[in-house]
Structure 1
Amino acid sequence: MTNETATAASENPVQRLFEPARLGSLDLPNRLVMPPMSRNRAAAGGVPTPLMAEYYAQRASAGLIVAEASSPSQVGYTYPDIPGLFTESQVDGWRTVTDAVHSAGGRIFLQVEHGGRIGHPDTSGLVPLAPSAIRLPGYIHTPNGHGTPPVPREMTTADLQDTREDFIAAARNAVRAGADGVEVHAANGYLLNQFLATSTNHRTDEYGGSVAGRIKFVVEVVRAVAAEVGPERTGLRISPGNPHNGIEVDEADELFPALLDALAPLGLAYLHLAYASPTPLFAELRRRWDGVLIANPSNPEAPEADPIPADGGVAAAARILDAGADLVAIGRPFIANPDLPERLRTGAPLNPLRTDLPLYGGGAAGYTDYPVIGASDTQPVPA
């Protein structure tokens, strides 16, 4: 890229989003990532469906798709109708999805998420596991409606070993299913994030207490997954500062840099920061991470009534690119706009999110029936 082109790109945030990028062995046509967003439309047994394949293929123009959270085990299930990655039927279902995305010219990673204490016997048939026997505050969604979260069972040494093996097997299954890679989910209050947090990890063994103890299990899991499928096919998602699901992390300014220092030598495909904003901690993590950094930015332009900003997320994307991100994950605009990259590139109108339909569960309505350019009657993206 010439100096003139670079200057023009820095002044035009939309143009910057459409610069090509490299991620592991993949060439990305743009810097827009569709992040993992659970939609709860898997079939019985956590099997991905042809409808899910259609949904993801519609959005294959993203530089990268990171598919919704998939459980590595029965006990790892979070909510009803979440897909899994631990049975042959699930692998076959995901293969239908990845084939559809690749046929449409896209690239797709599958996210592996163990819920930890975010689970319920009505969903999984099992008492959930967690670093410590500390109940999730509030309620949890179950097949029977809102339920009281159970007190999880504190994980034993054997449970830790079994869970590591579950992550390894799920990553292997993702690659067998045709995925370009896997994202290990250590964000937003789920199991691996629970090990990092002082509010959920009260262990007194080598996996608790100090910063080194609290990052230990996450490091072990990520190293094991990278060893199984290759670091160039392994990403990690974290969410510093996000209190969702009762998460409080003491010494965050020390813990997250220590986590990155332990993992940076592996040469992972990427680090994915959820709820990112240009804070001093973001700058420090960027400094310590030599590889690709995906940022899912906090977006103050998104109104509560319709969490799609008028510009489709371009302003937030520009801020986080300026702060050092390489790729930008834009979430809900992709739900309502399967052709979001083309709409942003051309300034075409955006579809609003259909708040009259549920985001979670259901069929094609509000899922695969959002129109593409030329079939919508919405307001244009501001210049």
Structure 2
Amino acid sequence: MFKVIIVDDELIVRHAVKTLIQWENSRFEYGGSAPNGVGALELVERTNPDIVITDIKMPEMDGLSFIRQLMKARFQGEVLVLSNYNDFELVREALKMGAHDYLLKLTMNTESFMQVLEEMAAKLDERRVSETVLPISATPELDGFQVRVGRLLEMADQGIDTDDGLINEQLEDSLTKQGIWFYSFIIRALAEQTSSDRRPGLPDMLERLADSIWPDSRVRVAVQRGPERALLVIGCQAGQAVAPPEEMARRLNSLAGMYYNVPLFIVYAQAAIGMAELAGEIKASRDTEARLIGAPERTRAACMPNRDKAEKAGPPNAVYREEVQKALAYLEEHYTERISIADIAAKVGLSEPYLCQIFKAETNVSIMTRLNEIRMDKAYELLATGQYLVKQAALEVGISDPFYFNRLFKKRFGISPKNVIKS
């Protein structure tokens, strides 16, 4: 069970939020409420919640100060922010501090609440599992991995071959035995950082975003080379279901824009086993980056493959267990309807907690996240025909709240649905 507390200075809002959340037959339990940050800190200390839902503007201690105190105390849970239409800059600050997401007060409903709560629960599940995984830095022969990665990009920039000091038989044997797939991204920030800019440096920003996107990865390394340019390398366990590299890059771009207002130009690579393959992928990415100098893609947020997709395939798609396949089929068939975890669990014959656990373990996303991905993909297809308004497309995929639809669409594709043009 995940304990949830609600923080808002208006009693009617606290009551409304409590009413909108489906406590019965779910993984969530009510842990109490507080009217401001001061009372909330006392409540956190007393109840040790997993999820905090908080307003931003409150007397005595506002939401930003409250979140700042939570993070200072190394709060291990997740934070959801409630906001009004004119609070976006404050929301951005809250997201930078570590809040998971936000909901608009005027558009709150049970469906949106439960979907975001499930996303946060999935992140907490991941974190608990990942705590038992041996980090790659704990492997003696991989000491200095960040330096090795930086050297790979440096040599690719200079057009010289990788030397034996970076790639040797002992290192390759260790990586093979551990079964680690490496995904690499050469990234340029298109918004130059100024002295008054409060955002972190590019490597730090990328590592924070990577921690949010791949919390259970074995390694996350970002190395800067040149102004506003960096190499990001993610290492995942072989057999672990991960999104395709293109989707990984798109999520990075979307979150960088949402949290830091920084558009990214990304050249992404296919999965690599060992340092030798990783070096080859980084070189291919560097060559692609060089070919695109002066191209329109280099002046706007974009995600480009480092080579023809047919040249190299990534790890084989996971073969999901029968119950997960049934759950995926159910989502594909019923995505236009109101779907609950209970409905899917009943369909596949498993308990809700166990279904959520195995679905996340095998697909690398939560059930509700996958449902939203299906809905957004279908909506994109409808909008691309030029025959649907945004509101119509939203209704066609089962979402009645246009603001919630817009937020999901931007999160999925990095652009507003109104900008989708018939190809």
Q: What band does the TM-score fall into relative to the shorter chain?
A: under 0.3
Instruction: Give TM-score, length-normalised by structure 1.
Output: 0.26
Comparing both structures, which one devotes a greater share of its residues to helix? 2
* Larger RCO, structures 1/2 (Cα 8 Å, 6+ apart): 1
Between structure 1 and structure 2, the one with the greater Rg is 2
